[in-house]
């Protein structure tokens, strides 16, 4: 059912694009190619193409809505508040700590910096030279 609806939707989209491109622009700049054919000229062209655009737009909206409804039938409800269960044989990751996400990221950064940082030399800190009065 979905594949048939998708094909119909694509055909409607192609027809809608074609009908919109056939219409004359308001300024006349793009539509002033000097067409010599008498097919759908004047006032009849505006009415027929406007009506076709409205019908195709309505069909496009209806098929889009129908596709989203059909796609929603297969969806199962879930809550983002419930923790996901881990499959058997896998260990759940240990929590980093309490607090918001920024605190947790800072803790991770501190842990990675402390494990990757080389050991500092054990020399005393330099002191400022004494000033003579």
Domain ranges of the chain: 1-24+45-72
pLDDT per residue, tens digit, the chain (133 aa), is 788 999 999 999 999 999 999 887 765 555 555 555 555 555 556 688 889 999 999 999 999 999 999 888 877 777 777 766 656 656 655 555 566 778 878 888 888 887 665 555 555 555 666 666 5
Q: Alpha-carbon distance 21 to 13, whole Å?
A: 12
Query: Taking Cα atoms as reference points, which of 53, 68, 41 lies closest to residue 13?
Result: 53
Q: Within 10 A of 75 (CB to CB), how many other CB atoms are there?
A: 7
For the CA atoms of 81, 82, 85, 91, the dihedral, rounded to the nearest 10 degrees, stands at 60
45 to each of 24, 37, 41, 58, 104, how far by Cα in Å?
9, 12, 5, 20, 65
Q: What is the pLDDT of residue 45?
A: 62
Contacts of 9 (CB under 8 A, 6+ apart): 60, 63, 64, 67
Q: What is the pLDDT of residue 65?
A: 95
């Amino acid at each position: 059912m979905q594949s048939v609806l998708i094909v119909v939707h694509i055909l409607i989209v192609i027809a809608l694009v074609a009908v919109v491109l056939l219409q004359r622009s308001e300024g006349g700049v793009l539509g002033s190619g000097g067409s010599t054919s008498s097919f759908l000229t004047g006032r009849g062209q505006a009415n027929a193409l406007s009506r076709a655009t409205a019908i195709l737009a309505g069909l496009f909206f209806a098929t889009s809505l129908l596709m989203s409804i059909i796609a929603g039938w297969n969806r199962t409800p879930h809550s983002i508040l419930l923790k996901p269960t881990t499959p058997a044989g896998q260990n759940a990751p240990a929590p980093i700590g309490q607090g918001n996400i920024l605190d947790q990221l800072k803790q991770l950064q501190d842990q990675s910096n402390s494990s990757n940082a080389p050991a500092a030399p054990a020399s005393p800190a330099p002191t400022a030279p004494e000033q003579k009065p």
